[in-house]
Amino acid sequence: SAMESLLGASMTGVVYSLFAGQPLTILGSTGPVLVFEKILYKFCKEYRLSYLSLRTCIGLWTAFFCVLLVATDASSLVCYITRFTEEAFASLICIIFIYEALEKLSHLRETFPVHMHSKLDLLTIYYCKCEPPAHPSNETLRFWRSNGIDVSGITWGNLTVTECRSLHGEFHGPACGHNGPYAPNVLFWCCILFFSTFVLSSLLKKFKTSRYFPTRVRSTVSDFAVFLTIVIMVLIDLGIGIPSPKLHVPHVFKPTRDDRGWLISPIGPNPWWTVLAALIPALLCTILIFMDQQITAVIVNRKEHRLKKGCGYHLDLLMVAVMLGVCSVMGLPWFVAATVLSITHVNSLKVESDCSAPGEQPKFLGIREQRVTGLMIFVLMGCSVFFTSVLKFIPMPVLYGVFLYMGVSSLRGIQFFDRLKLFWMPAKHQPDFIYLRHVPLRKVHLFTLIQLLCLVLLWAIKASRAAIIFPMMVLALVFVRKVMDFCFSKRELSFLDDLMPESKKKKLDDAKNEAKEEELKLGKPSRVDTPKPSSDRADPSEINISDEMSKTTVW
């Protein structure tokens, strides 16, 4: 339903960009919400209920509960969302992006099967033709009867692949797969497009630090890396001419299904009691929306981004709740703060100092805080319904490659993945992280293992039959973090789970150590109260200068 997605995103995004408290946040259809919708759809299909009608009831109840949370100052609970919770949730979103991209690519093998172990000398005798089914099923017989199809009067051998499938024919021959004839080159070309998009996007994004071309050119190429990659890959795909699957977009502004309009009845063909029964899934959906929205907002409002304007958690949730109700009544997808998109948006608005000296690294100065970029993103998304003649040339593997790039690029900067690397890294090669100075390595590994276990448990529940409790497990991350207060000291958690930027804490620690060393050289007692490291690493202020000349161990 491309038309519904574009319309819903444009409406919700424009309203949010104009009236929300933190316009740097980008709304989208997130992975956890998608998981909830899949569970709901499977439930409706199993019990023969109207999915859109039940979804409308759940959406309206969810919007009401979210407004209730705003009115009762529930957004103040974000103080319990620490780095442990937000990084576990952000990691889950990134992994969903990466997994979905690879899964979509693997599914192309079913649509475009490859003739494995074929013999080149027999290419002239390979064939695949359409034939009537030898033992037609009752469904096929009813289809033929209802459409008045005379099977004996059809020249099955002259039918195209689409015509054969529409008439419920079967494919026979040495060049036939399970669902149709083998498609030469298509799958491998899709793999090339997929990985080329990922690699080219990554290279163009890093072009900003290149030594070639002026700064303005490098910055422009880096800022529009994904867009330039899509344009380049579309041109290459058109030049090669292999029929890769393209983006399906409607040609007329109307709902995708012909049996529905732009307004959905909350009851519809469902029994009246489903309106009240929708309260239970609506509570679960409210937890998911609240956690998804607020965790993303906490990530955007991090101190390390140096934002000058205050955050507006209540106002953001109110805007999401209002548009959630509107989208539910219109049968449009639900949109909430998207972690990956928001991080990408904030990173693209970074302001860095100009480098004059050769080899000098630019310094981070802050974020361009404004409403224009978010507003124009969703205005252009709404206008894209009129550019369907251009969008239909975009190959689907290129979009899957963009999803993979967004998931992988968002993993950078997540402390959880930095700590995972320490398991296979010798101590002498470990980076100079501030928490490694003050926390024993075994405690760092224990903290990482608990976080990894929570992430694995979330994924296992999402993929199991108990997926309906997935929102509750996301909320349980906060309680797991509170229990960890009994396993770690406050000082250890202040370095492992504090939201203060790593670079800022390291500068403060270095300044204290330098001041202490200077006073020791002058023979004065130290006035800087530097906590003694609890790790196996030595404090530089405690190392004897004369002894260090004979030691080979470097702090």
Q: What is the pLDDT of residues 227-248, one digit of tens each?
A: 899 999 999 988 888 888 888 7
What pLDDT is attached to residue 551? 37
* Low pLDDT (below 50) residues in the chain: 500-503, 526-555
What pLDDT is attached to residue 523? 63
Residues in the chain: 555
Which residues lie below 8 Å from residue 96, measured CB to CB, with a gap of 6+? 31, 32, 34, 407
Which residues lie below 8 Å from residue 459, measured CB to CB, with a gap of 6+? 92, 95
Quote the strand ranges of 3-53, DSSP E: 27-28
Q: What is the pLDDT of residues 298-310, one digit of tens each?
A: 778 777 767 777 7
CA-derived radius of gyration, the chain:
28
What pLDDT is attached to residue 546? 36
Q: Give exposure, 389-418, as e/b (b: 16+ Cβ within 10 Å).
A: eeeeebbbbbbbbbbbbbbbbbbeebbbeb
d(CA 60, CA 279): 10
What pLDDT is attached to residue 543? 36
pTM recorded for the entire structure = 0.69
**Which class for 379: exposed (0-12), middle (13-18), buried (19 or more C-beta within 10 A)?**
middle
| Token pair listed for 75 | 């957004």
What pLDDT is attached to residue 498? 63
